[in-house]
Amino acid sequence: MVEVKCNLCNSSFNSLKYVKDGFRVVKCACGMVFVNPRLREIKYDEEYFKRKGSIYEDYLDERELKKKNFKKIINEIKKLKIGRLLDVGCGTGELLEVSKEKGYSVKGVEISEFASGYCSGKFDVINESFDEVEFNEKFDVVTMMDYIEHSKDPFNDLRKVKNILNENGILVISTGDINSWFSKLMGRNWNFLNPEEHLYYFSEKSLRKMLEKSGFEIVKIKKDFRYVSFRNFLRYFKINLKMKGFNFLVWLPSMMVVFARKV
């Protein structure tokens, strides 16, 4: 376990918000919520993507569902920017596939050897942690879909994104909203509160602060509508049933998508 300071304001002072699964989730006076102390390393191996009872249990079975969701996102991005796209935390490559179909030149970064293996031969994917990759190219769009909550150092990751974006480049982030009514309703039972691997919990306000501090301006923030399996929808309410095959579009009341521009 390792102790950390606030990634937004660098303060060492914080107050306890939740204790879950043996982890302390704390809140800084600046509004940043994070896990402290936290694990030094997390293994994103095959077992991670097949854990029973988690939203990742059906990860590989829901690739077509994820592509439907990413088509909506890419259509929004196309209104702002076209060109070269980098997907950070690209998983098994669904966003890369959709982006390529929509005319983007694509590249991915994925820390999991297991997940990146699904992209082998299809896309240019770097199997490393984003903070360790040295880029000799720039991009017009960078996407971080359900990535930033896993990052050990979100602020430095965002600074790095700024450096690899072309002028007026676009960054798109999806993550949970710790200040949403659903998060407040569910408390420590909020489905997104997974302190073993989700290290940072943003509100619209704290994410805006961090983006502006790292050299971006907000274009828009949207609540996240996604196609989800009925099984995973029930998991949002801590209900676990063995059923598959029923999918529908639903507003996820604690998720947000942020579009930002390099300034």
- How deeply is 124 buried, as exposed, middle or buried, from its count of CB atoms within 10 A (0-12, 13-18, 19+)? exposed
With 50 as the cut, is the pLDDT of residue 248 above it?
no
Residue 63 is predicted with a pLDDT of: 80
Residue 6 falls inside a structural domain: no
Question: Does some domain include residue 3?
Answer: no
15-40: per-residue pLDDT in tens?
999 999 999 999 999 999 999 999 98
b/e code 136-154 from CB counts within 10 Å (16+ = b): eeebbbbbbbbbbbbbbeb
Cα gap 6→56, rounded to integer Å: 28
> Residue 233 — very low, low, confident or very high, per pLDDT cuts 50/70/90?
low
Q: What pLDDT digit, counting tens, does each position of 87-111 carry? A: 999 999 999 999 999 999 999 999 9
- Selected residue with higher pLDDT from 235 and 197: 197
Residue 146 included in any domain: yes
70 falls within a domain: yes
State residue 49's pLDDT score. Answer: 63
**8 Å CB contact between 112 and 59:** no
What local confidence, expressed as pLDDT, does residue 214 receive?
Answer: 98
The answer to whether 128 and 109 are in contact (CB under 8 A) is yes
pLDDT(45) > 60: yes
Q: Is residue 196 part of a domain?
A: yes
In a domain, 255, yes or no: yes
Report the pLDDT value the prediction gives residue 67, as an integer from 0 to 100: 92
Place of tokens 């930033």: 148
pLDDT class for 62, splitting at 50, 70, 90?
confident
- The rounded Cα 251 to chain-centroid distance in angstroms is 17
Q: 105-146 pLDDT, tens per residue?
A: 999 999 999 889 989 889 999 999 999 999 999 999 999 999
pLDDT at 73: 95
Q: Please, which pLDDT band fits residue 163 given cuts at 50, 70 and 90?
A: very high
At 5, the amino acid letter reads: K
Structural element, H or E, at residue 140: strand 139-145
Sign of the CA dihedral with 161 first, then 162, 165, and 171 last: positive
Residue 234: which domain range? 53-262
CATH number of the domain residue 122 falls in: 3.40.50.150
Q: Specify the higher pLDDT residue, 194 or 57.
A: 194
Does any domain span residue 133? Answer: yes
pLDDT over 50 at 245, yes or no: no
| 34 within domain boundaries | no
Mean pLDDT value across the chain: 89
Name the domain count of the chain.
1
Range 47-52, long-range pairs (CB < 8 A, 24+ positions): 48/112, 48/114, 49/112, 49/114, 49/115
